[in-house]
Amino acid sequence: MKVIVGLGNPGSRYAKTRHNVGFRVIDRLADMWQIGMDREKFHAWYGHGVIDGESVALLKPTTFMNRSGQAVAAAGRFHQLTESDLLVISDDVALPCGRIRLRPGGSAGGHNGLQDVIDRMGSDGFARLRVGVDAPMGDQVSYVLSPFAPDERPIMDRAVERAAQAVACWMADGMDRAMNRFNASEEV
């Protein structure tokens, strides 16, 4: 069982914000894999399917960003999840807008949602996919809770599609191949 979690904030107020890029990637995966996301389970919108013979659960936590780990930990306990079967998708202000980066583990990098997942899982050894949203010019909280500028929207549409392809590659071929294929490219 693979569990793929997109971080974001619930509600229409946050739907198009920079902080909700993880939700957008999950929505794209759900469309691509025809997995319904209409169930609430584990403090998250939840969908389950079988992709190329592998069972996969998609989650969008309903607990707000800073408590995302609650949903991940609940799903992890239920599915007896190992670190190697978890992938968390988040926004990243340290990456240029539209750039994606896969990593097999590591620190939260100042991201409160990732930090909560690390704290509640008791480890930082799970995979993560970060989607760049650029660095803020001013207050970081206001920035990540703001929508993308009109000229950034097509860049982010391509980034969401690319991120979904990177997740599919991770599922099919593993982390090393996915990193080699998607981290090496400078496409934005």
Could you tell me the pTM of the whole model? 0.93
Hey, CA dihedral for 67, 68, 71, 77, is it positive or negative?
A: negative
| Coil, strand or helix at 81 | coil
Local confidence pLDDT in tens for the 188 residues of the chain: 999 999 999 989 998 998 999 999 999 999 999 999 989 999 999 999 999 889 999 999 999 898 999 999 999 999 898 889 999 999 999 899 999 999 999 888 888 888 999 999 999 999 999 999 988 777 888 888 888 999 999 999 999 999 999 999 999 999 999 999 999 765 55
| Catalytic residue check, 48 | no
Residue ranges of domains in the chain: 2-182
pLDDT of residue 67: 93
Round to whole Å and give the CA distance between 58 and 36: 9
Residue of 19, 48, 79, 111 marked catalytic: 19
For domain 2-182, is the CATH number 3.40.50.1470?
yes
Round to whole Å and give the CA distance between 11 and 14: 6
pLDDT of residue 108: 87
pLDDT of residue 34: 96
